[in-house]
Structure 1
Amino acid sequence: MNEPASNDTPPTTMPVCWWHPGRQTGLSCTRCGRAACPDCLREASVGYQCVDCVRAGREAQRRAHPRTVAGATLAPRPVVTPVLIAVNVLLYVVTVAQARSPLDNERATLFGDWVLWPRAIAGADQWWRLVTAGFLHYGPVHLAVNMFALWVLGRDMEAQLGRVRFIAVYLVSLLGGAVSVYLFDDSNRGTAGASGAIYGLLGGILVVVLRLRLNPTAAIGLIVLNLIISVTIPNISLLGHVGGLVVGAAVTAAMVFAPARGRVVWQAAAVVVLAAACVALVLYRDSQLASVACDYQGGELLCTTPSGA
């Protein structure tokens, strides 16, 4: 006589967690399909992934977007450097058109309004000259030499720092070179050119080389050679070069030696502090040139000082 079939189904054994064999679970990773307990799953864009898949995804993302020594995403090609070159060339073309001469373009109205003339800064509060002068050049040779140097140095520095940090280093270096001229040079002499910013990139290259623990001999030799040229060739602003070099090295050091935790905050704070220090030095120099008096006569700005500063 046959036994009646039982209606009871045998209990089904639940899978166990891949990482915790003693834990049964009905959950699994949406990426690899392995069983995982709630402690071993992390929320993803679609479903939940196990800790191994999350770690692998982060590593893949890190490899796909490598970081530079300053913590920036490695850019495939320079963008800021050619834009800066284009701006410098465009402004040179404007001055040539105004002066109707490629060699005597300093006679242009724009050149007169933007050149770094300390007396106009102190007597007429034309502070913009500290920045705008860095985008003007005396003739085609001056422009060509600076733009070639900017292209060579700018590509490497932009790749190492990232675009935003590179802009910060360039502009603060430019300001540092201008402030050095404003502090120590003849107050009645005009100065222009991107050399201060370019020397800042030179100082930055040396700092990056040291940070990467590479041989700094070539970088040091290049800096020394350029300083010798600044001293031996007349009509070159050694003060602007040295000021840009020092400030550029300082701000780059803040970029590449900032601690990984809170790196962006540290870097931004360093840029603000250095820029504020430059502004403070400008105010100090203003107080020294308090006797300068400026006035427009016949549409031309004339600045004089009884002290002859």
Structure 2
Amino acid sequence: MSHPAGPPAAPAVCVRHPDRPTGLACTRCGRPACTDCLREASVGYQCVDCVAEGSRGVRRGTTVAGARSAGRGRPVVTFTLIALNLLVFVVTIVQARSVLEVDRADLFDEWVLVPGYVAQGEWWRLLTSGFLHFGLVHIALNMVALWMLGQQIEPVLGRWRFLATYLIALLGGSAACMLFYPVNGGVAGASGAVFGLLGAYLVVLIRMRLPVSMIMPTIFINVVISVVVPGIALLAHLGGALAGAAATAAIVYVPRTNRTALQTALLGGLTVLVVVLSVLGAARFF
């Protein structure tokens, strides 16, 4: 004896969109889901909730400095520093009305590192002098070096660590000038910071157990140029290189436990140290 069929079952609906009937389901949790809420998986399709839950359990890779090794993107800090240097150079050209004599610009006069002026309280010159350049060749060489080194180092250190290393190297070069240069000497340029990146690159290669031969020819050429070419602040380059290497060592050799806090404390301590050295240099003139 046959029985009349019951009413047809209601179609399944997406758990996230109840107004959307669907015949699909997540292969992980089995819940019905529409095409907008499914993502392709190694086997079948998973809903967005299961995908998000799975992602939370995946450990992200990091570099020796603690920066994310995946999806690091472009070296934004490097490009920003180059843009700032170029902007300052354009301003000095406009003020001086000359490409060859930019040191006549008012901004150059206010920002250049003169140890005697710093000793009188104009401490901003320790930092601002690193964004000034004496001419096209000067800024071109520094910016090309910054671009080449920044693309290698910034992804390894991460953005804020790279910026801190750059600025500490810049201040390290200024501290060397304060300690050893005459009261009325004028120093400008990003060379100290660039040499700091050379020191940083060397430390990174050693930490990653890569051949230092990758960077030694570049270091040798830059040292020779600093010695042979007149008018180059060799001690500023040396101070920047030592400061940059020290900052990078503080970043890549700290233990993983509380790494970010330790890095911040060590970089802060190095910043204080180079400033104190600058103060000691200023004390020579009293």
Cα distance in 1 for residues equivalent to 2:282 and 2:136: 33
> Is the contact between residue 92 and residue 107 of structure 2 (CA under 8 Å) also seen in structure 1?
yes
Match of 1:119 in 2: 116
Q: What's the secondary structure of 1:69's corresponding residue?
A: coil
> Is the contact between residue 131 and residue 189 of structure 2 (CA under 8 Å) also seen in structure 1?
yes
2:84 pairs with 1:87: yes
Which AA in structure 2 matches 1:249?
A
Which ranges in structure 1 are unaligned for 5 or more consecutive residues? Answer: 1-29, 35-44, 291-309
Q: CA deviation at 1:259?
A: 0.7
2:64 pairs with 1:69: yes
Q: CA deviation at 1:218?
A: 2.5
Which AA in structure 2 matches 1:174?
L
Which AA in structure 2 matches 1:67?
T
After superposition, the C-alpha distances for 1:116-154 in whole angstroms (9 at most, x for unaligned) are 00010112x000000000000001110111000000001
Residue identity over aligned pairs, in percent, reads 47
Which AA in structure 2 matches 1:113?
E
> Is the contact between residue 174 and residue 278 of structure 2 (CA under 8 Å) also seen in structure 1?
no
Cα distance in 2 for residues equivalent to 1:159 and 1:61: 19
Cα distance in 2 for residues equivalent to 1:282 and 1:139: 27
2:163 pairs with 1:167: yes
Cα distance in 2 for residues equivalent to 1:183 and 1:245: 16
After superposition, the C-alpha distances for 1:160-202 in whole angstroms (9 at most, x for unaligned) are 1111111000000000011111111122110000000000000
Cα distance in 1 for residues equivalent to 2:282 and 2:205: 37
Which AA in structure 1 matches 2:85?
N
Q: CA deviation at 1:61?
A: 5.2
| Segment drifting more, 68-77 vs 78-87 | 68-77
Q: CA RMSD in A?
A: 2.2
Cα distance in 2 for residues equivalent to 1:206 and 1:58: 35
Structure showing greater radius of gyration is 1
Match of 2:270 in 1: 274
> Is the contact between residue 168 and residue 271 of structure 2 (CA under 8 Å) also seen in structure 1?
yes
The number of aligned residues is 242
Cα distance in 1 for residues equivalent to 2:236 and 2:91: 24
Which AA in structure 2 matches 1:254?
A
2:183 pairs with 1:187: yes
Which ranges in structure 2 are unaligned for 5 or more consecutive residues? Answer: 1-25, 31-47
2:133 pairs with 1:137: yes
Cα distance in 1 for residues equivalent to 2:56 and 2:204: 27
Match of 2:37 in 1: none
Give the TM-score of the pair, scaled to structure 2.
Answer: 0.80
Within the candidate set 242, 251, 257, 1:255 is matched to: 251
Within the candidate set 216, 233, 242, 1:220 is matched to: 216
